Structures are given as structure tokens and as C-alpha cells.
Amino acid sequence: MDRCFDTEAVMKEIRTQITNRHSVYDELTFIAPYHNKMISKCLERDSLVIFGAGVYGGMIIEDLHMHGCNSICCICDNRQAGKKIHGYEILTPEDAFAKYPGATFVLTPRWYENELLQQLTGIGVDISNILIISMLETGLDII
């Protein structure tokens, strides 16, 4: 019996698996020490506002839930205010700060973290109440 390795068939199968892959958020726990450290810092805070309603923000919300976090007050996002994600209302950063002035803002940027940081400090958020989970540092830059 003659068996040939069909590279194209294997590549097609890999592409199908990647395309059909659903994120398994439990994987986040093992990705990088940086990620674990930042999740631990979030868990130490009494109230959290997650800044970012995109894929990465959703991943952080799921991971915080997996770690037993129930201190998320809301989500804020410049472009998605008025919607909901994971059952949380999405506010503008300004509205989130007005509603939760003592909360820690957890930035989940893929890009533009400096601009988001400037925006928050510009509206009065104290720098000690800002955590940045840089997704590029976690090894999760999968999109």
C-alpha cells in the first residue's frame, strides 16, 4: 500500500481547525506570567471598570469570572457605549468615572494604550487607579 503525505490536505485540515476554533478562556491561565500577575492585581481591587469592549476586553472579563471576581462594575468603551457585553452595560469612560469614581480602570488595549491612559487621566482618574493589561505582552495577540 502506497501512502503519500498530502501536504495540501493537512494544511486544509489545519485551516479548518483554526477557523472553527473557539477560544477556551481557561487557556489564558497558562499563557504568560505577566497575564497571571495582572489578573491577580485586578483581584486585589474592590471595584473594576474594564476599559475595552472588544475581543480582549471580553477575554479579560471571562478570565476574571473564572478566577471568582465579582467586582466588575461596568465596561467602558469609546465606541460601544449603550450596548452590553457579558451582561454588563457599556458606558463612555466619562460616564463610568462619574458613576464609579473610586473604581480601578483596567485598560485592555491592543493598540493606543498611551492615548487611553491620557484620556483617563484627562477626565480625572488617578493614575494609581489604572491598570493596563497589554495584550501584546500576554502572548494573546491572536487576532
Homologous superfamily in CATH for domain 24-138: NAD(P)-binding Rossmann-like Domain (3.40.50.720)
Cα–Cα distance, 138 to 98 (Å, whole number): 31
Cα–Cα distance, 137 to 42 (Å, whole number): 16
Cα–Cα distance, 139 to 20 (Å, whole number): 20
pLDDT > 80? residue 53:
yes
pLDDT > 50? residue 143:
no
**Phi, psi (degrees; rounded to nearest 5) at 104:** -90, 125
pLDDT tens digit sequence for 66-82: 999 999 999 999 999 99
What distances in angstroms separate CA 21 from CA 15, 25, 142, one per listed residue? Answer: 10, 12, 12
- The amino acid at residue 127 is I
Domain ranges of the chain: 24-138
pLDDT tens digit sequence for 102-137: 999 999 887 788 899 999 999 999 999 999 987 665
